[in-house]
Structure 1
Amino acid sequence: MVDIRDEDEAGNLKEMIRWFLFKLVIALVLETEWAESSKSKCNPTKAEATCKECINLGPGCAWCKTVNFTKAGEPNSARCDSEQLLKNRGCKETDIIKPENVMKVDLNRPLGSQGKIVTQIKPQKIQLVLRRGSPQKIEVKFKRAEGYPVDLYYLMDLSYSMKDDLEKVKKLGGQLLKALTSVTKSIRIGFGSFVDKTVLPFVNTHKEKMKNPCPDKNEECQPPFDFRHVLKLTNDSKLFTREVGKQYISGNLDPPEAGLDAMMQAAVCGEQIGWRNVTRLLVYTSDDGFHFAGDGKLGAILTPNDGKCHLNKEGFYENNTKYDYPSVAELAAKLAENNIQPIFAVTSQIKPIYEELSKMIPKSAVGELKEDSSNVVQLIKDAYNNLSSKVIIKHNTLPEGVRISYISNCNDEGSVSDKEGVCLDVKINQEISFTVTITADKCLSKTASFEIKPLGFTENLEISLKTECNCECDDKPHASEHCNNHGAVKCGICSCDQDWFGKFCECDLGKRSTQELDAACRRDNGSTTCSNQGDCICGACICHTNPNKKIYGKYCECDDQNCERNLGKLCAGHGRCNCGKCECDAGFDGTACECAQAFKQCQQNKGSNICSGRGNCTCNQCMCNAGYQPPYCKFCPGCPSPCPAYVPCIECLGFQSGPFEKNCSASCTNIKHKVVDELKEQNICKEKDSKSCWMNFVMEELEGVANYHVTILKKTECPPPTNVIAIVAGGVAGVLLVGLVILLIWKLLIELYDRREYRKFEKEKAKAKWNQGDNPLFQQATTVTVNPNFKED
């Protein structure tokens, strides 16, 4: 009886063995592919490569500087290979040039507090020397310190709708300091306010409204302004309350405000605001949206925001009508540059707008502000805790050709990013780390520097970077016998003196230029020197030696291996390869000598030509010339008729006239002919001779190329002679007839026109009223004058 469990265990064991063998095969294949790919990457395109060109191909490439390392005929590029392959070929380990990355830590203070100095990131300064393409890993550690100092600048919207909120803010000083003292012992607060740009259509520029923008004239409002810095950062809560208490509301026309203008000035005016080198918070309160870049055009403000400080002595943003609002991207860059973390305390109606804005500004938070700002203290405290627990490390502008990636080691998986490292919910005194990988993909012309820093903190890691793209070989500068005393050895190869060149400086430039000598080693302008298979020595190609193939030719363009194969054999084993073509042994044919010579199936009859003389017999099959069809290349359906091309020959052979009359037999040797009284064939050609007479003939193609038998009809068909007199007379009569017809038509048109005009005249005459001799406009006088003094006595 068989135990089922034993069968299951045996099956599992077989499956495990099969899986192990599969994994082993995959690993071997991958290792082989990796080795081959590594080797291929270390093949310089130039035969006369240098050590510098070699090491810049990639981090896996090394150079052997041993003087006699290359064999006769081998190019200098053979010195470039992987380190292991160079050792296998006999290069001494001490002669292998393979630069490695160098990292030097200049400053590495421990994390934590040392007196007044608080360190949250380590190391602080590093010098890197990188080989092109070789990545360098740096372990960056961060520890969130307890009681880290905080500067908080309160930025408030003073448009008319924030009237109720201002009364709450006036009492904030002591509450804010008390609330934030629980998380830090060093806290300073400041205050600023904003409304909008002081031009139409943002504010009412009427003279009275510029003095008091309140809707009610009996209510007092301060004149409109863009941004005003009121109180420098201070730890005096009473001073904060006193200065903020002096503020009163203002007003503008449109709902959006100049909030981004105010944030920009608060960020870049560090001296006026009083920012310390500590955690910097910017609290922004508003109940409406904001203007951004481009909106200034509505007020004819076209100059883009310059991102600079423009506060006057009174703290007002004096150039607000000159510069446009900043863009969100520009503001985000300035906030990050100055390590400022914004907290947007806004009402519920506009909270979604500021949530979208927060996505574009790193290390920012959004909180919902009650209608009267009564919860602002708790909101700020919660936002600060959320911002502080989220650690983001990021780099500033990198040198061209340098890339960086981050692995955040704050969870089990470790997130990977090319932009930044992020850790969430970091507790106070919790140490976290980031693996930063830096790679230089190109050689830098000079030492470059950049920073990696945690956003919202003033500490950073300064990195000084340069690349190693040259070989240090410790060569002697004087002439060497190895270079025929006309050059010095540099990294194993000869660096020749002026006017000397060659692998061992054996060639004198003389009167020929290097361009001429180089051109002598090329087949044409588009080809490479010595076909990349030899060295150009003094204007002549010396072909490389290769145990696997023979390289030859004036330009080393030929070898005995690059020919067609059949069944895996070069030239089917029945010929030899000569410069890309197979030369077959006797009795064999074909491009790869794959066919035994046989012509039986290439002949229509026993005595006929092979392939009718219009093709080649390959592998006992006709390969016909263009247009002709197998099996015997007799017919060419698509070929044009030969009749028009042989008209001069037909005329001279059949009628002893035409352009070939004097040398007909010499000009028409490929044509056999006969003249007949009647043609019975169907495919009769009909062409005109030199006298415009029609010739009738039949052409039959014979074997071979352009061989014909022609049967010619004895009589030609000539058209009757032209009657010149009749043609001239007919032409003159025709012209006269046409002229007469045109004249008659013209006369008819004139007559019709005259008749129509006469009828019109008669009609108008009938309407006239002058035939009575009276003027219809004349009226008899009707006025009677009476003398009042006349009494008829």
Structure 2
Amino acid sequence: MTSWLRTCGSVPLCLLICCMGFVFVRSEASSAGASVCWSPSVTSCADCLRRGPQCAWCFEEDFLRGAEPSHRCDLPVNLRRRGCGPEFMEHSEVKVDFNDTFSNTQVSPRDISVTLRPGSQASFVVAVKQLERYPVDLYYLVDVSASMQDNLNLLKTVGVALSFRMMEHTSDLWLGFGSFVDKPMSPYISVHPSKINNPCSDYEISCRPAHGFHHVLSMTGNVSEFTRVIKHQEMSGNVDTPEGGLDAMLQAAVCQNAVGWRPEAKRLLLLMTDQPSHLALDSRLAGIVVPHDGLCHLENNVYTGSTRMDHPSLALLSEKLLENNVYSIFAVGKQEYQWYEKLVDLLPGSYLGKMGFFQTPSLIELVVDAYKRLLSEVAVSVSVEDKAVSRYWVSVSPLCPDGSTAQSQTCSGVRPGQTVYFNITVGQHACSDDGKDEDITVMVRPVGYNESTIVRIHSKCQCSCEHTGRCHDNDPSPCRWTQHGESEERRPHHGSLRDSNTDANRNCRADRSDVDCSGRGVCECGRCVCEQSKLGIVYGKYCEIDEFSCPYEGELLCGGRGVCVRGECVCDGGWTGDSCGCPTSTQTCYSSNGLLCSGLGRCVCGKCVCDDPHQSGSFCERSPAWQSPQQSHCMSLNCRHSHSPSQKESGLCNHTCAQLVSHMDAASERVSSGRLIGTFLSVCALTVLCGLVVVAVSRLLLQKRGGSPGVTADDGGYHCTGKDLSYIPTTNEKTVTYRRDHPPDRLVEMHIQVPKMALNDPWQC
């Protein structure tokens, strides 16, 4: 662990915290636990824990006594509210432990233990550091078919030149050599007796027999020995165009002891060929149907499995290159470049070089450039055991030295001395089919590094509480709930348990009651098994308790902010009240001046209640609209600016002012009421008086106009243009007869025309 801390000591604090292994547990917990964890199908602890890492199972014997077993599965916070102690809970526990006891130089930590439950996940950080100078092992794997004669001659001079060139990057270069052609059987080679031992007999030259792979020279730091071995190599031949290069690559990677790969060195495998390679299933042409097993099959440095097993698949070859920390470099001709370009995309840690023709300078530069390129790219590969691939998942997120987060699993441009951090998350989908605990291994391998991180995952799918009992055993153990989800006390055991009788049923009745289980359950084995209710849980010794008899708010039990326990709401954090409708926070009661209710009240249920009944407003910020002179004088002079030396006199002043203010407020209210009534009566009287005056004036004007003889319409003081004279009569005709006394027998008649005017006509128009 000390070296692990040293590795993280040079990074920022946030990364150091990550290095210490924070565990992130995905949780969808909410106050509505029933919708997340509860289900009628949950009948055991194992079923409950499969609902998710946020769920817990209460195995306390008398918890919700009489209720169905499914109600023992809920969120831990809800179980505690209902009375289940933490010591009686079985719940998901995700842990990450670092067991790093190695002296690490490149990869830290080396050993991690993780405990998971179904549906949970855990995260940790793996640091990969690039060292300044690495020892290098370079293995030449050369196609020795006839077309490669010129290229083989090139290797006779490349060893010394390459050693001097690589001195710029490493002072410890070792070289090895191996050759390949193809599988030595038809139809890949000619099986004519004259050509089996000498494929070049048609050209009257001597060739060595075709072979799948020959390991010629193990790793050595003696460049002269490498050159001597190359000079003695002979060519070979085959019939078809593709070669067996991938088959030979796998043997060179897995036969570590024979090849002599050094544990501390960077391993480079250089494949030189001018033709494409056979792939898996090509061997069926020769009747070979056995897949490659990925193992080493060398006897006396000759590959013996060439004629028995198929060519390896790219997936198998990639896996073996990673396991053995081997970088692969392909040196191919220009015509085959496109074919190998698609191939290297499927092989991690591979590099492809294109050469029109092989020359010593170009081959040396190819090796040097590949070495620098491969070391500047840092990536990890994560593999899960085949048996557990479907039940687990892994994600990798690298943090590169420049602070960027790579979209892929590779950081490029890493220089010697820099560190790349990989945030790795492992999660579990489900348990195995048998539902038992299991241990699996996940390998985190930095590509091309001879160090790796082993992640040991312990999956907990079973509950620790698996004790069983009988209802007649009087076993006090709290683990009385079996994995089948019901108490053994409830199960009928023929021949060992008494049938329900009067004595047993008496235990299911409350005092002074003749109804079993309060009419809300059945009596089994002398104990009540309460009925299921759509409204909520029914439980208790006599099924006398339920969890739906609490106040409702907004059509939700306890306002949706708590749970009902024994008829009372147990509110979530931040809420209180009978129906959990009042927030406990006072933030809503602070006024703009930063005072609670402006300093003139208290916060009740999230609202201000003013101490002074004359204050108003949401924050008690409004004062009375007016004050009497006496009140103002008292408050401003006698009390607010009192310089009384004694607290007693000051208190008396405040008490007196308070009484005066109260008295003046009452008087002010009475005066205001009297004035309001008087004003109303005055307005009414004034309105009536004005009406009478208008009527009198109108009448006087009418009488005055009627008593003025000889006034015609043209001489009047008004002109009406709004009337239609065609239908309104303008005169009143009347004949008056006068009788004169002298002479008595004579009568005089007078015809008078009087202008007529309707009473409704206005005086002015």
TM range (shorter): 0.5 to 0.7
Cα 1:543–1:89 change in 2 (3 A) is closer
* Other-structure match for 2:177: 191
Whole-Å separation in 1 of the counterparts to 2:537 and 2:54: 31
Cα 1:320–1:51 change in 2 (3 A) is closer
Whole-Å separation in 2 of the counterparts to 1:302 and 1:479: 57
Q: Which digits, 9 at most, give the CA deviation of each residue in 1:636-691, with x for residues without a partner?
A: xxxxxxxxxxxxxxxxxxxxxxxxxxxxxxxxxxxxxxxxxxxxxxxxxxxxxxxx
* Other-structure match for 2:736: none
- The one of 214, 218, 243 aligned to 1:232: 218
| Structure 1: tracts of 5 or more residues without a match | 1-31, 112-118, 518-529, 562-567, 569-793
* Other-structure match for 1:57: 51
* Other-structure match for 2:248: 262
Whole-Å separation in 2 of the counterparts to 1:100 and 1:502: 24
Q: Which digits, 9 at most, give the CA deviation of each residue in 1:451-478, with x for residues without a partner?
A: 21112212111222212344557x9x89
| Residues 207 and 237 in structure 2, CA contact (< 8 A), matched pair in contact too | yes
Q: Does 1:376 align with 2:363?
A: yes
| 1:680-719 equivalences in 2 (<5 Å) | none
Amino acid at match of 1:70: L
Amino acid at match of 1:246: H
- The one of 394, 397, 403 aligned to 2:393: 403
Q: TM-score when scaled to structure 1? A: 0.55
Whole-Å separation in 2 of the counterparts to 1:164 and 1:478: 80
Whole-Å separation in 1 of the counterparts to 2:71 and 2:134: 60
- The one of 413, 434, 440 aligned to 1:448: 440
Whole-Å separation in 2 of the counterparts to 1:512 and 1:347: 86
Whole-Å separation in 2 of the counterparts to 1:347 and 1:372: 8
Equivalent residue of 2:335, what SS?
coil
Whole-Å separation in 2 of the counterparts to 1:259 and 1:135: 42
Give the deviation of 1:356 after TM superposition: 1.0
Q: Does 1:182 align with 2:168?
A: yes
| Residues 335 and 341 in structure 1, CA contact (< 8 A), matched pair in contact too | yes
| 1:164-563 equivalences in 2 (<5 Å) | 164-214=150-200, 217=203, 219-277=205-263, 278-313=265-300, 315-374=301-360, 375-398=362-385, 400=388, 401-410=391-400, 414-415=405-406, 421-443=409-431, 445-471=437-463, 486-491=474-479, 505=489, 509-511=493-495, 537=524, 542-544=529-531, 548=535
Amino acid at match of 2:460: E
Equivalent residue of 2:80, what SS?
helix
| Residues 487 and 495 in structure 1, CA contact (< 8 A), matched pair in contact too | no
Cα 1:65–1:366 change in 2 (3 A) is same
* Other-structure match for 2:567: none
* Other-structure match for 2:81: 88
Give the deviation of 1:351 after TM superposition: 0.6
Could you tell which deviates more after superposition, 541-550 or 213-222?
541-550
Whole-Å separation in 2 of the counterparts to 1:423 and 1:38: 43
| Residues 502 and 537 in structure 1, CA contact (< 8 A), matched pair in contact too | no
Give the deviation of 1:162 after TM superposition: 1.4
Q: TM-score when scaled to structure 2? A: 0.57
Whole-Å separation in 2 of the counterparts to 1:428 and 1:544: 71
Give the deviation of 1:107 after TM superposition: 0.9
| Residues 29 and 75 in structure 2, CA contact (< 8 A), matched pair in contact too | no
Whole-Å separation in 2 of the counterparts to 1:305 and 1:515: 66
Equivalent residue of 1:447, what SS?
strand
| Residues 54 and 63 in structure 1, CA contact (< 8 A), matched pair in contact too | yes
| Residues 150 and 187 in structure 1, CA contact (< 8 A), matched pair in contact too | yes
Give the deviation of 1:154 after TM superposition: 0.3
Cα 1:50–1:337 change in 2 (3 A) is same
Q: Which digits, 9 at most, give the CA deviation of each residue in 1:244-285, with x for residues without a partner?
A: 111132222222112122212212222211122232211001
Whole-Å separation in 1 of the counterparts to 2:500 and 2:154: 89
| Residues 489 and 525 in structure 2, CA contact (< 8 A), matched pair in contact too | no
CA RMSD of aligned residues (A): 4.0
Cα 1:128–1:327 change in 2 (3 A) is closer
| Residues 382 and 444 in structure 2, CA contact (< 8 A), matched pair in contact too | yes
Give the deviation of 1:353 after TM superposition: 0.6
- The one of 43, 50, 59 aligned to 2:38: 43
Cα 1:256–1:484 change in 2 (3 A) is closer
Q: Which digits, 9 at most, give the CA deviation of each residue in 1:195-253, with x for residues without a partner?
A: 22333332333444445444874544334333221111111100000111111322222
Equivalent residue of 1:488, what SS?
coil
Equivalent residue of 1:202, what SS?
coil
Whole-Å separation in 2 of the counterparts to 1:256 and 1:179: 33
Whole-Å separation in 2 of the counterparts to 1:534 and 1:389: 72
| Residues 61 and 83 in structure 1, CA contact (< 8 A), matched pair in contact too | yes
Whole-Å separation in 1 of the counterparts to 2:211 and 2:398: 45
Whole-Å separation in 1 of the counterparts to 2:437 and 2:236: 56
Give the deviation of 1:164 after TM superposition: 1.4
| Residues 128 and 464 in structure 1, CA contact (< 8 A), matched pair in contact too | yes
Aligned residue pairs: how many? 489
| Residues 129 and 468 in structure 1, CA contact (< 8 A), matched pair in contact too | yes
Cα 1:139–1:94 change in 2 (3 A) is same
Counting aligned pairs with the same residue, the percent is 34
Cα 1:66–1:387 change in 2 (3 A) is same
Equivalent residue of 1:350, what SS?
helix
Give the deviation of 1:135 after TM superposition: 1.1
| Structure 2: tracts of 5 or more residues without a match | 1-26, 502-516, 549-554, 556-765
Give the deviation of 1:304 after TM superposition: 3.8
Give the deviation of 1:378 after TM superposition: 0.8
Whole-Å separation in 2 of the counterparts to 1:507 and 1:320: 65
Give the deviation of 1:364 after TM superposition: 0.9
| Residues 131 and 468 in structure 1, CA contact (< 8 A), matched pair in contact too | yes
Amino acid at match of 1:141: A
Give the deviation of 1:537 after TM superposition: 2.7
Amino acid at match of 1:307: G
Q: Does 1:103 align with 2:96?
A: yes
